[in-house]
Amino acid sequence: MNDDQLLRYSRHILLPQIGIEGQERIVAARVLVVGAGGLGSPAAYYLASAGVGTLVLADGDTVDLTNLQRQILHTTGAVGHPKAESGRDTLAHINPECRVVPLVERLAGDRLDAEVAAADLVLDCCDNFATRHAVNRACVARGKPLVSGAAIRFDGQVAVFDPREADGPCYNCLFPEGQEAEEVRCAVMGVFAPLTGMIGTVQAAEALKLLAGIGRSLAGRLLLLDGLSMEWREIRVPRDPACPVCSRRGA
């Protein structure tokens, strides 16, 4: 790191758990954020400000006026522009040291697999089950830690799935594909604005911890937030030995 970086990240470097070594890991990292909406916004803010070297921001949507209530990466002037590019522009003002790669697409198939393979860590900040399962499959296949978040109405949840851990569950162990409750979308159901900030910020914290190699991650645990009563609950998530996505791993 150069002198400017040492200053910029000094309050991280002062933390004995992070120090120069941990910050250097963060600076060297490439992180894929799938979704630049309510969760991706705060997550990307903190990942970029905290010095992640390369942030790949993938979102096929354009900014809509109804997004601005909670999707804080985007400004009124960005309405009608691709979210990935709007996010890049905002993050460049916060930290020009962070290289943001905007992907104006809904990642799937080979493109998704290639981006997961190239990343050190993946954040699932999307809003639909199909993408969540596709991202999970790619992370299991490529052995990449996945920080998963969701927020709807006043309810939030966040978990880490780390295929590098022998007994670690994957997203599909917890929410088997095809058994989901009916998809509820923000467009119909509404979402409390700061809830997305709280969950997205936990995702950023877990990502930075994993990158720096510090603390205890949320792997194997699901945190549930009831924003109306402001209560967090924790559920242990066991690995499903019959999970079709991760069960053959290491066999």
Is residue 26 exposed (0-12), middle (13-18) or buried (19+ Cβ within 10 Å)?
Answer: buried
| Nearer CB in complex with Zn ion: 208/246 | 246
177-186 — which CB contacts under 8 Å span 24+ positions? Answer: 177/129, 177/133, 177/245, 180/129, 183/128, 183/129, 184/152, 184/153, 185/127, 185/128, 186/38, 186/127, 186/152
Tell me if 136 contacts Zn ion by CB under 5 A: no
CA-CA distances (angstroms) from residue 125 to 13, 129, 235?
A: 28, 11, 20
Tell me the window of 2-10, 28-36, 166-174, 177-185 that interacts with Zn ion (CB under 5 A). 166-174
Catalytic residues: 186
> Which residue's beta carbon is nearest to the bound Zn ion?
243
116, 170, 202, 204: residue in contact with Zn ion (rule CB under 5 A): 170
CB of 223 closer than 8 Å to CB of 159 = yes
By CB under 5 A, the count of residues binding Zn ion is 6
Around Cβ 197, how many Cβ atoms within 10 Å?
20
CA–CA dist 127, 238 (Å, integer): 24
Tell me if 138 contacts Zn ion by CB under 5 A: no
148, 157, 172, 196: residue in contact with Zn ion (rule CB under 5 A): 172
Tell me if 246 contacts Zn ion by CB under 5 A: yes
Tell me if 243 contacts Zn ion by CB under 5 A: yes
With a CB cutoff of 8 Å and minimum separation 6, the contacts of 16 are: none
Tell me if 245 contacts Zn ion by CB under 5 A: yes
39, 58, 160, 173: residue in contact with Zn ion (rule CB under 5 A): 173
Rounded to 5 degrees, what are φ and ψ at 212?
-80, -15
Looking at the DSSP assignment, which residues form a beta bridge with residue 222?
159, 235
Smallest separation, CB 217 to Zn ion (Å): 17
Tell me the window of 1-9, 74-82, 104-112, 237-245 that interacts with Zn ion (CB under 5 A). 237-245
| Nearer CB in complex with Zn ion: 226/240 | 240
Tell me if 160 contacts Zn ion by CB under 5 A: no
Tell me the window of 8-16, 18-26, 159-167, 241-249 that interacts with Zn ion (CB under 5 A). 241-249
Which positions touch Zn ion (CB under 5 A)?
170, 172-173, 243, 245-246
